[in-house]
Chain A
Amino acid sequence: MAASSSKPVPLLKDELDIVIPTIRNLDFLEMWRPFFEQYHLIIVQDGDPTKVIKVPEGFDYELYNRNDINRILGPKASCISFKDSACRCFGYMVSKKKYIYTIDDDCFVAKDPTGHDINALEQHIKNLLSPSTPFFFNTLYDPYRDGADFVRGYPFSLREGVPTAVSHGLWLNIPDYDAPTQLVKPHERNTRFVDAVLTIPKGSLFPMCGMNLAFNRELIGPAMYFGLMGDGQPIGRYDDMWAGWCIKVICDHLGLGVKTGLPYIWHSKASNPFVNLKKEYKGIFWQEEIIPFFQAATLSKDATSVQKCYIELSKQVKEKLGTVDPYFVKLADAMVTWIEAWDELNNSAEEKTTENKAPVAAAK
């Protein structure tokens, strides 16, 4: 039986970083101020590093442009995309926090059907702090939500659930359609507020959108690589998709959960469908090969950590998708580079923490 959660949701303000990729400006943060002001922001500035991105007053942040990325990663910076919001994953790598929330700079606060502003971050935290149920579908959706529960017939042995690694939010107004659909339905707006959070069952893949996404960095961080997109690459707008397929295979393997549904944000900007079509074009064909690859992908018993899983996956990508296009060989190599960079940046952070702890203990 699920426990009811009428106690307040913890803020996690010292345990969560908000990662925002931007090339324009951060005006959208003004609307989010009441919800974001207490959190640390990691801004990843894409495009021209000489441009100065103004961050609204009062926010605590660190900002990285391309020069910073090159300086910090050296030759390994090659795995971070340029001229594509995929560069945001650099933010995941440099974060020192347990949780990440990432949001696009054209996403605003949405209203629920009662007209109240939706605190998207709070909902993501609720999602991440409560278990997932990937082994058996609950017809009343997330059983841990107030007012919901497991239905009759749901095996009791599966009611504890598993830890939630990812919380995938949705969008009102401009829906996340691909270019062909945008061309056919340029005026379609998502007005349907679906009051549900649900676990995506084990064995099922989904299109993960990076516009409104939160995850437990300790559980799945290293697998959140957003691939090689943008400048010099044959493809764009598949960064989050790629990460989504990888994390789902890995979460299924490691017994972690992925939730989708609430919270909604208000997506204001419809990107140009013709520009999108150019970026997505190859992806539309390639995904017909990529999907069966991920559906069939299995990881060995030795793959007991996210990094090990990811490296194994990269080998399979090279072997099986390398024949589709040489891009995948490059991508597989970049996946390895990413893990190397992640471990370098994050293991040394762990060492520092250990060093700092000792003197404090001695002082006592």
Chain B
Amino acid sequence: MSQVIINDNEVDIVIGALHSDLTTFMNAWKPVFSRFHLVIVKDPDLKEDLKIPEGFSADVYTKSEIERVVGSSTSIRFSGYACRYFGFLVSKKKYVVCIDDDCVPAKDNAGILVDAVAQHIVNLKTPATPFFFNTLYDPFCKGADFVRGYPFSLRSGVDCALSCGLWLNLADLDAPTQALKPSQRNSRYVDAVLTVPKRSMLPVSGINIAFNRELVGPALVPALVLAGEGKLRWETVEDIWCGLCVKAICDHLSLGVKSGLPYVWRSERGNAIDSLKKEWEGVKLMEDVVPFFQSVRLPQSATTAEDCVTEMAKAVKEQLGKVDPMFSKAAAAMEEWVKLWKSVGSA
């Protein structure tokens, strides 16, 4: 495997600021973040001013900037975790890495601090292998390879469009699970990256992700907003919806999605039991969407991420609109998003 070179100019780190004081967060990530350009988007609902430490190259976007750029768009809400998507929209770089502001670098099994950005970029720059499962996980990793029986014609792989990282300490469990296991913490460091096979759905967590903006930028859609949408991960499914769309689109465009390393260390926040009341809406919606995503097929004519989102929106409106008005709203937001992307995102 050839050494992957990470070009500082190719990467934007997008941070959705749901807390006003980013000092601890950014200082913890300084060794990793300082060489890159940062796009910090302040949750429009946040009243206090942002506190950002010195030593970073960052552009900061607040409510007024968002409104100026986006105009009077009505179906897309950039509040809460969705504020990050604004950062995806205005970024000009090839790769975007996005980490929640309550996460700090994790340590690997050798006790070494994990450079999550570097690992994400390596994941994105090495091929993915969605058509056949490799039992030794990522074959492009040093010390690994394709195993006996892996067809040779599939060994060059496809471009990786999305890299989904994981979390030590507070894993991304839903509220009911965390409420029932309040002391459960994730201490298992699984030293693997693997390609999620074609046609396999997965829950993409927005806590620690990276993507190739040139390939799939518009496919990360801020579309599904719960009525009780909140400021804790337990109170949202926007990233789950987004991930299901991106995976279906990647499958259609023959792009890869990887999951596994890097880990980040996620801290305690909020109370799972309190969030239970809001969680059920999201849980119910998830049940409705599974058969849809299992069977959705996009037309051959959809060859770009924008086309795919448009087609996806149509399918959502037609097939899921009647199940719950939330989906009609999501479809409308997706259509709006494509328009926005074409005018702002591609500029």
Binding site for B on A (CB under 8 A): 1, 4, 113, 135-141, 147-158, 168, 170, 175-178, 181, 185, 188-196, 200-209, 237-238, 240-241, 244, 260, 280, 284, 287-288, 291
- Is A181's CB under 8 angstroms from B151's CB? no
18 A-B pairs with CB atoms under 8 Å apart are A1-B180, A4-B181, A135-B290, A140-B186, A150-B173, A151-B205, A152-B203, A152-B205, A152-B237, A155-B286, A192-B144, A200-B197, A201-B197, A201-B199, A204-B197, A207-B149, A237-B148, A288-B153
Chain A residues closer than 8 Å to B171, beta-carbon distance: 140, 149, 151
B25 within 8 A of A: no
8 Å CB interface, B128-166 against A: 132-137, 141, 143-154, 164, 166
Chain B residues closer than 8 Å to A178, beta-carbon distance: 146-150
**A196-B240 in contact given A139-B205, A203-B197 (Cβ < 8 Å):** no
- Is B202's CB under 8 angstroms from A152's CB? no
- Is B186's CB under 8 angstroms from A147's CB? yes
Partner of B172, one of A152, A190, A240, A260: A152
**A152-B191 in contact given A158-B290, A178-B148, A201-B200 (Cβ < 8 Å):** no
- Is A206's CB under 8 angstroms from B135's CB? yes
User: In whole angstroms, what is the CA distance A107 to B247 when docked?
Assistant: 39
B201 within 8 A of A: yes
Can you name 18 extra interface pairs (CB under 8 A) apart from A192-B141, A291-B151?
A138-B203, A139-B164, A147-B187, A151-B172, A152-B233, A152-B237, A153-B203, A153-B237, A181-B145, A194-B137, A194-B191, A202-B200, A204-B132, A204-B200, A205-B132, A206-B132, A206-B135, A240-B149
Partner of A207, one of B150, B188, B196: B150
Partner of B199, one of A148, A151, A203: A203
B57 within 8 A of A: no
- Is B132's CB under 8 angstroms from A209's CB? no
B39 shortest CB reach to chain A, Å: 25
A119 shortest CB reach to chain B, Å: 18
B192 within 8 A of A: yes
- Is B290's CB under 8 angstroms from A149's CB? no
User: In whole angstroms, what is the CA distance A181 to B146 when docked?
Assistant: 8
8 Å CB interface, B275-296 against A: 283, 286-287, 290, 294
6 tightest A-B contacts by CB? A207-B149, A153-B203, A153-B240, A201-B200, A204-B197, A137-B202
B303 within 8 A of A: no
Size class of the contact patch on chain B: 35 or more
Nearest residue (CB) in B for A201 is B200
User: In whole angstroms, what is the CA distance A240 to B148 when docked?
Assistant: 10
- Is B147's CB under 8 angstroms from A177's CB? yes
- Is B180's CB under 8 angstroms from A188's CB? no
**Main SS at interface, chain B:** loop
- Is B133's CB under 8 angstroms from A204's CB? yes
User: In whole angstroms, what is the CA distance A67 to B247 when docked?
Assistant: 54
Partner of A209, one of B146, B148, B202: B148
A152 shortest CB reach to chain B, Å: 4
User: In whole angstroms, what is the CA distance A349 to B281 when docked?
Assistant: 53
Chain A residues closer than 8 Å to B151, beta-carbon distance: 287-288, 291
Nearest residue (CB) in A for B259 is A139
User: In whole angstroms, what is the CA distance A152 to B224 when docked?
Assistant: 15
- Is B197's CB under 8 angstroms from A175's CB? no
Chain A residues closer than 8 Å to B109, beta-carbon distance: 113
Chain B residues closer than 8 Å to A157, beta-carbon distance: 287, 290
Chain B residues closer than 8 Å to A291, beta-carbon distance: 132, 151, 154
Most B C-beta atoms less than 10 A away, residue of A204, A208, A244: A204
Chain A residues closer than 8 Å to B192, beta-carbon distance: 192, 194, 196
Most A C-beta atoms less than 10 A away, residue of B136, B146, B166, B189: B136
User: In whole angstroms, what is the CA distance A132 to B203 when docked?
Assistant: 17
- Is B147's CB under 8 angstroms from A137's CB? no
Partner of B188, one of A1, A181, A191, A195: A195
Most A C-beta atoms less than 10 A away, residue of B147, B171, B198, B259: B147
Chain A residues closer than 8 Å to B4, beta-carbon distance: none
- Is B184's CB under 8 angstroms from A147's CB? yes
Chain B residues closer than 8 Å to A185, beta-carbon distance: 145
Chain A residues closer than 8 Å to B141, beta-carbon distance: 192
User: In whole angstroms, what is the CA distance A1 to B272 when docked?
Assistant: 15
User: In whole angstroms, what is the CA distance A215 to B174 when docked?
Assistant: 32
Most B C-beta atoms less than 10 A away, residue of A137, A150, A175: A137
B55 shortest CB reach to chain A, Å: 33
B226 shortest CB reach to chain A, Å: 13
**A241-B200 in contact given A140-B166, A149-B184 (Cβ < 8 Å):** no
Chain B residues closer than 8 Å to A280, beta-carbon distance: 148
- Is B287's CB under 8 angstroms from A194's CB? no
- Is B173's CB under 8 angstroms from A149's CB? yes
- Is A191's CB under 8 angstroms from B143's CB? yes
Interface string of B166-184 (1 = CB under 8 A from A): 1000011110110011001
- Is B144's CB under 8 angstroms from A190's CB? yes
Chain B residues closer than 8 Å to A176, beta-carbon distance: 135, 147-148
**A152-B234 in contact given A137-B201, A139-B205, A170-B135 (Cβ < 8 Å):** yes
B225 shortest CB reach to chain A, Å: 15
**A288-B152 in contact given A168-B135, A193-B191, A194-B190 (Cβ < 8 Å):** yes
Nearest residue (CB) in B for A284 is B152
- Is B197's CB under 8 angstroms from A153's CB? no
- Is A136's CB under 8 angstroms from B202's CB? yes
A92 shortest CB reach to chain B, Å: 20
Chain A residues closer than 8 Å to B149, beta-carbon distance: 178, 207-209, 238, 240-241, 244, 287
- Is A170's CB under 8 angstroms from B143's CB? no
User: In whole angstroms, what is the CA distance A284 to B146 when docked?
Assistant: 13
- Is A139's CB under 8 angstroms from B240's CB? no
B221 shortest CB reach to chain A, Å: 15
